[in-house]
Every structure is written in C-alpha cells, then in structure tokens.
Amino acid sequence: MSTIRNIFVFVSLLLSATVLAQKPELSVKVSKNKLGLNQRVRIEFSVNKQGADNFEPPEFKNFRIVAGPSQSVSQSWINGKVKFSQSYTYILQPKRKGEIIIGPASIQFNGDTINSKMVKVIVVDAVDIPKDPNDPNYIAQQNIHLVAEISKSRPYVGEGVYVEYRLYVSENVSVFDTSVTEAPQYNGFWNQEIKINGYPVKMGKYNGEDYRYIVLQKALLIPTKTGNLVIDPMKMDIVIGVPTGRADFFGNVITKNLRKEFASPRKIIRPKELPLIGKPENFTGAVGDYNFNVVMSKDILRANESFDLKVTVSGKGNLKLFEIPEIVTPSELEKYQPNRKENVRITGTSMTGNISETYTIVPQYRGKYKIPNASFSYFDPKKEKYFTLTSQDLFVDVIDGKDITSNNTTPNNNINSPEVKKVPNITNPGSISSKNFKFIATRTEFQPAKEEDFYGSNLYYILLLVPYLAIPTGIILSNKQEKRRKDVRGNKLRKAEKLARKYLSEASKLIGQKEAFYEALQRALHNYLKAKLGIETADISKERIADLLSDRGVASEVSSKFIDVLKNADFARYTPTTDLQMKEEYNRAKEVIIQLDKQL
C-alpha cells in the first residue's frame, strides 16, 4: 500500500513540476474576425498556468455583452506532457460598423501581470440570418467555402497566371463526400492543368478565421487577348455532417448529414496589351525571360556529308506559344525541315525548360560558307521591356567535293567562290595570224535613214495588244500554280522524287561499273537515313535500322524493301552483274526512297 502511495506522490510531483515548467501566457481567440452588425462573436481568453487569478477583461466599449464570463478549466496528460488551460468566455454583439480593436485582458500570477494581445474585428452591414440559427443549411453555408485564388489580376498578354481552387472547412462541421459537378472554363486563355499529388489537409486562414483546407485543382493560365476575361465558377456537391445542438445518451454531439451545392465566385482577369514602343520587328509573342543559342554539330566536312544545326530557346515564360527564328543558309547548303523538340515543365506561374529546332544540312560543293546570325526577341513582364538576343555568324568549311562551275550562280554567302576569268593565250606570239585582228575600215558609205511612222507600224499594234494578252495569261498561270500548291499529295511526291534523285545521282552515273556503282548506292541510302534520322546508320546493323524506321512510324513492308535493297547492294558487289540488273537495282532504290520519304 505504501508503494502505491509513493508512486502517486511521485506522479503528482512530476505533474506539478511539468506544469510549473510552462511559461505563463494569456492567449485570446475570437470565433470570427468579420461579422455583420446583427451577428454575435465569441471571444475566449485562456491562461496556461495553474494558480493564476484576478482576471481583468478589456473594456468592450463598442460591444454589448450578451453572455459571460463563463469559466472552464481543463487539464490533460498525454505522452508525458501536461496541458493545462483555464478560460474565460464572452458572447458579444457589436454596436457599430467598422474596424473595432478589442484591447488586452490581464491576469495575475505570482505577483506578475500577464497581458493578452489586442484583437481586430471588422463589422459590416447587417446580414440575413435565418429564424433558426441551428438550421443545418445555414450552418453549412457559414462553415464551408469554395474559393478560387489567382496570383495576378492584371497580367500582360502572354504572361502566366496561377489559379488555385481551395475548399475551406471549419472544425465545426465534417465533410464525408465531395464531387465536382461543373469544372471551370478558361475562355481566352491557353491553359494547362497542374497535377496534384493527393489531397493533403492543410491549416490556413479564411476571413481571418482558422480553417482546414484542401487544394482541389491548380492550373496555369496564359491570356491570349486583352479585355475582361471571366473564369467561370467551379461547382461541387458536398455531403456535410452538421451538429444539431443535441447530444446522445453518452454526451456525444448528434450530427445530421445533408448534401449541398457550393460554387466558387467568378473571377475576372484584365490582361494588359504589350507595349508598342520598342517592339522589335521580329517579335513573335515570346513573354518571359529567355536565352538564345545556335550551334553546329561540326564545321569541317565533305560535300554530301550532313551536319546538324540546332536552334534553342531556353528559360521561363510562355515557351509553347511562339515561333523559333528560322535559320537562313546559302543555296549551296541544302536545308531540310527542322525537327522540333520541347522539354517543358509547368512550375508556378510559368513554363520552364527549352524548345529547340534541329536542321539537317547537306553541302553540295566545296568551299567556305557563312551562315548569317539569327536574332530572337522577347518581352520581360517584370522589367516591362523588350530584349533582342543575337547569335554569332557560323562558318562551314567543305574540304572535299565538286567545285562550283562558271555556269553556277555564286551567292554572296560563299566566302570562297571562284571567279572564272578568260585570259588570251599569248605564250606563242609567233602564232598570231590575221584571224586574230579586225581591220579598221578606211572608207564609209552613208545611206539616208528611212522615216517610219511608229504609231501606224506593226510594232505599235503588237505592243498595244500585249497588256490584254498578258492579263489572261497571268490568270491561267496563277490558277495552275494555285492548283499545284493545293495538290499536297503531288507536292510530296515531287519532293520525294527530287530527294531520291539527289541522293542517287552519283550512283546513276556509275551504272556499268559494278563495284563503284554498288558502293555509291549503299552510300546514298545511308546518307539519306543519316539526314532523316540524324544518326550514323553506316555503323549500325540492318536490324537496328529496321527498328529505327519502325519507331518513326514507317510501314513494315516499306522498311523491309529498304533493307532488301541494302542487302542486295552488299551481295551484288561479289557476284556477276549485268548493266540491266544495276539499272533495275537503281530504280528499286529510287522507288523505296520515295515511299520512305512520304512516310517519314
């Protein structure tokens, strides 16, 4: 018995020591920071130290005390920690509208005075209150709020805005089920929903009061035009457990479940137009903060050997909503359509990452060529200013291949174009004959010029009819060009045939020379794949080539034909072959390149 008594004394001493170790504090809490003139507010003062007395409330000058003070004491011991609280509660009703400051209360502890903090309450016009304040619909409406929060209401066109939908729930009610009945619409915005990993419950403030909340939906919005852009409400059905004010036999609060629809308020965003002052001519709508870079895979190569030219824009902003500057190359450098790649992720109010376009370029002749610089312009909404970034000039040295002949037009971008000059042969002066000279005439005979009336001549009438004939001729030619331009299938076929002839031109000249022909045929097929796929296909197996073509969406039968042509070219180099067989193999290669190019 004495042992039990000793344990009890020890626990009591430990409990007292723990309570005494706490720092004395007088806290204050109000049920709401914003209320109508006809509503009431509960204010509670709590001291965490046992032995405090002589509580003095503040002067409630602008309030009428409806009830109070009511006192309560609570003490608990959980996991070795003791929690003590002694509270004083008042029910108040405001006498006027506006911001009202409730002064500090005080309490005495061991001769020291402890003060609470001041509290600000905002009182607005009277609100509609049902006859029964315990009406479950009214309680649900007061304790649950569906809101939409936006990061900026006045962005620039093209500047990102972050919107987040939150569901706030007070501790007075419980939520059992939720379902979105109507998703918000983002008319006038480019939008991208942001993935949410679960729905963790967080603590936050709504109208100055403590609430639990979850984030239901996030989205990045980029306005595409000016004006009043409306974000329509999100609507939800929520099953709520509302206390009825009654308790069961064991003292537990009885709740009532009801289903109620909630809607977030409409939000209006008014985007600002981008300034016209200082706007560059090459501006294509990029808004944010960017870097611009142009690089080549190599700058020394042979004719008909391809290289890659990569143009990259990286940074933060509306990365998917503008065009990358096009690269201009000399005509001797054959340029193919670029391959566009996007590495973009959504973070907060913008997109970050990079977008790039990679050109495959094949030089035709030997020489040194200059690829002129390119420039990229963007608008920075933080600095409210346009910026232009310019790349450096790039130079390509083609060290092996055909020279540009005198019949070719040499562009200005070729910095090593040969000039053809004809110089008379004077190495053998003794060979000069009378055919090298034209003798000067010593006598002339003048004949009177015939006078003709131009306005009555045939030339006059011909020139008069030319404009009338040119108009229908131009219309006919224009219609033919328009018809050809709309012939997408025909244009693709002509382009594919041109590409096949280009790669197979060397092989066509070597028909009859077996080994040289098949070497040229294999080289043409590999160079074509290299230009299209951007890899060195000569170093990989035919099975790997078939897999690469399959990954790019090429039909298996076309891929098989291409591999068969490669195999036949490899096998025919070591077997007897006629000129007719070489010509047939050339036609098969041309046909398969055309089919392949249409699918790629």
- Give one DSSP letter per residue of 236-291, joined into a string: EEEEEEEEEEEE-TTSPEEEEEEEEEEEPPPEEE-PBPPPSTT--TT--S-BEEEE
pLDDT value for 411: 46
Out of 172-176, 255-259, 314-318, 496-500, pick the least confident.
496-500
Residue 291, pLDDT above cutoff 90: yes
Residue 486, pLDDT above cutoff 60: yes
Domain edges within the chain: 19-124, 136-269, 288-400, 488-599
545 or 161: which carries more pLDDT confidence? 161
Out of 272-281, 347-356, 412-421, 544-553, pick the least confident.
412-421
Q: What's 121-179 look like in SS3?
A: EEEECCCCCCCCCCCHHHHHHHHEEEEEEECCCCCECCCCEEEEEEEEECCCCEEEEEE
pLDDT value for 205: 82
Averaged pLDDT, 286-313: 91
- Domain 488-599 sits in CATH at 1.20.120
Q: What's 464-480 look like in SS3?
A: HHHHHHHHHHHHHHHHH
Out of 151-165, 284-298, 447-461, 470-484, pick the least confident.
447-461
CB atoms < 10 A from the CB of 405, how many? 10
Residue 106, pLDDT above cutoff 90: no
pLDDT value for 537: 61
Residues 6+ apart with CB under 8 A from 578: none
Architecture of domain 19-124: Sandwich (2.60)
pLDDT value for 499: 61
Residue 472, pLDDT above cutoff 60: yes
Residue 138, pLDDT above cutoff 50: yes
The band of 420, judged by pLDDT with boundaries at 50, 70 and 90, is very low
Averaged pLDDT, 394-398: 90
Kindly state the percentage of the chain with pLDDT values over 70: 77
pLDDT value for 392: 92
pLDDT value for 422: 39
278: left (phi over 0), alpha (psi -120 to 50) or beta: left
| Alpha carbon distance 89, 101 (integer Å) | 17
The band of 430, judged by pLDDT with boundaries at 50, 70 and 90, is very low
Out of 167-171, 382-386, 405-409, 415-419, pick the least confident.
415-419
Averaged pLDDT, 288-299: 92
Please state, rounded to an integer, the average pLDDT across all residues of the chain: 78
Digit-coded pLDDT (tens) for 59-79: 888 888 887 788 877 777 766
Residue 17, pLDDT above cutoff 60: no
The band of 372, judged by pLDDT with boundaries at 50, 70 and 90, is very high
- The fold adopted by the segment(s) 288-400 is Immunoglobulin-like (2.60.40)
272 or 7: which carries more pLDDT confidence? 272
Averaged pLDDT, 482-486: 68
Instruction: Fill in the DSSP letter of residue 521.
Output: H
Averaged pLDDT, 195-204: 82
Nearest to 540 by CA among 521, 563, 558, 557: 563
Residue 154, pLDDT above cutoff 80: yes
Out of 44-48, 197-201, 323-327, 384-388, pick the least confident.
197-201
Residue 14, pLDDT above cutoff 60: no
Residue 492, pLDDT above cutoff 60: no
**DSSP codes of every residue in 46-111:** EE-STT-EEEE----TTEEEEEEEEEEEEEEEETTEEEEEEEEEEEEEESSSEEEEE---EEEETT
Digit-coded pLDDT (tens) for 515-535: 778 777 777 777 777 777 766
The band of 348, judged by pLDDT with boundaries at 50, 70 and 90, is low
Helices (H) and strands (E) in the chain, counts: 8, 30
Digit-coded pLDDT (tens) for 374-389: 999 999 999 999 999 9
Residue 200, pLDDT above cutoff 50: yes
The highest-confidence range among 14-18, 163-167, 301-305, by mean pLDDT, is: 163-167
Q: Do domains 19-124 and 488-599 have the same CATH topology?
A: no
Whole-number Cα distances in Å, 372 to 392, 412, 414: 8, 11, 11
Digit-coded pLDDT (tens) for 550-595: 877 778 887 788 888 877 777 676 666 777 777 888 888 888 888 7
Digit-coded pLDDT (tens) for 108-132: 888 788 888 888 888 888 777 665 6
Averaged pLDDT, 214-240: 88
CB atoms < 10 A from the CB of 88, how many? 20
Residue 286, pLDDT above cutoff 90: yes
Q: Is the peptide bond before 69 cis (omega within 30 degrees of 0)?
A: yes
